[in-house]
């Protein structure tokens, strides 16, 4: 079950030195276990890589490699105005549909992020033993990313053709696709329409010598849209 957590992490970091014959060869950060977790007798590694990148406005997608025997993952976040804190704990079962070729996971951060800020993420794996005791891995490397910018469709244009009503025309609109768009909002005169899975729209019953403005904006998700970022043209039939 996914849990949203907003309290800052306040555990003191411990520096773990891995010793070899030639002295220290690596260092890793191990978190002091919080309440409800025990100190592991064997230090477990966390994910060895993490990436974070914007894919649509106000959203970031995080990817990381899977850790053997992990039952869940805790995603930590920082930005210029927030200390490091656990934002989500995600169970392996809950992430089943987010696997990528059995090598790792991706997760769409589904709470809005500020479009102008850079966010840094790291991940710790959660292990649960037969007695139900929970332990945490060391931190993964961190990765930073910010949301994608708002984009309006480019190359908006139109052609006209005959309509099946005498004295009327068909206005055929087209535009270039926007990456990761779910659809588009087309507004003209006092009307508007939404278009999904295509980049064309035909307006019928248009009068010759008509003049009006057409604007097209991008819909990334039903709740993620900005009608003020659009492309407009003046139509003259």
Least reliable range by pLDDT among 7-16, 24-33, 159-168, 215-224: 7-16
Q: Go through the chain and tell me how many residues it has.
A: 237
What is the CATH topology of the domain spanning 3-145? Immunoglobulin-like (2.60.40)
Q: pTM of the predicted model, to two decimals?
A: 0.71
Q: How far apart are alpha carbons 62 and 103 in whole angstroms?
A: 14
Question: Contact, 100 vs 23, CB < 8 A?
Answer: no
Confidence of residue 12 (pLDDT cuts 50, 70, 90): very low
- pLDDT at 1 > cutoff 90: no
Q: Examine domains 3-145 and 157-236 and report if their fold is the same.
A: yes
Please give the residue that has the higher pLDDT: either 34 or 16: 34
Residue, of 26 and 94, whose pLDDT is higher: 94
pLDDT digits (tens, 9 = 90+) for 106-139: 777 767 788 889 999 999 999 988 888 889 999 9
CA pair distance 105, 140, nearest whole angstrom:
14
* Residue 163 neighbours by CB distance under 10 Å: 16
Quick check: 150 and 116 in contact, CB under 8 A? Answer: no
Domain boundaries, the chain: 3-145, 157-236
pLDDT digits (tens, 9 = 90+) for 60-104: 889 999 999 999 999 999 988 889 888 888 888 877 767 765 567
What pLDDT shows up at residue 222?
A: 86
Q: What is the mean pLDDT of residues 27-50?
A: 68
Percent of the chain with pLDDT over 90: 48
Calpha distance 233→237 (Å, rounded): 13
Q: What is the per-residue pLDDT for 39?
A: 63
- Average pLDDT over the chain reads 81
Say which residues have a Cβ less than 8 Å from residue 136's Cβ, sequence separation at least 6: 31, 33, 37, 40, 44, 74, 124, 125, 126, 127
CATH fold group of domain 157-236: Immunoglobulin-like (2.60.40)
Q: Dihedral sign for Cα 45, 39, 79, 230, please.
A: positive
């Amino acid at each position: 079950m996914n849990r949203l957590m907003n309290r800052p992490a306040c555990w003191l970091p411990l520096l773990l030195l891995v010793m070899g014959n030639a002295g220290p060869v690596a260092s890793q950060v191990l978190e002091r276990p919080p309440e409800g977790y025990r100190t592991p007798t064997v230090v477990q590694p966390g994910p060895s890589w993490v990436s974070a990148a914007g894919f649509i406005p106000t959203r970031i997608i995080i990817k990381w490699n899977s850790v053997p025997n992990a039952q869940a993952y805790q995603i930590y976040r920082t930005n210029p105005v927030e200390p490091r804190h656990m934002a989500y704990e995600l169970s392996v079962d809950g992430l089943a549909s987010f696997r990528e070729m059995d090598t790792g996971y991706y997760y769409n951060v589904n709470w809005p992020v500020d479009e102008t800020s850079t966010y840094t993420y790291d991940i710790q794996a959660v292990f649960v033993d037969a007695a139900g005791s929970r332990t945490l891995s060391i931190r993964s490397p961190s990765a930073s990313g910010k949301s994608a910018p708002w984009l309006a469709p480019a190359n908006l244009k139109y052609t006209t053709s005959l309509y099946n009503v005498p004295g009327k025309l068909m206005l055929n609109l087209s535009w270039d696709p926007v990456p990761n768009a779910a659809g588009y909002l087309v507004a003209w005169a006092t009307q508007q329409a939404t278009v999904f899975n295509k980049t064309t729209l035909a307006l019928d019953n248009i009068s010759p010598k008509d003049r009006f403005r057409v604007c097209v904006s991008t819909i990334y998700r039903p709740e993620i849209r900005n009608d003020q970022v659009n492309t407009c043209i003046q139509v003259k039939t």
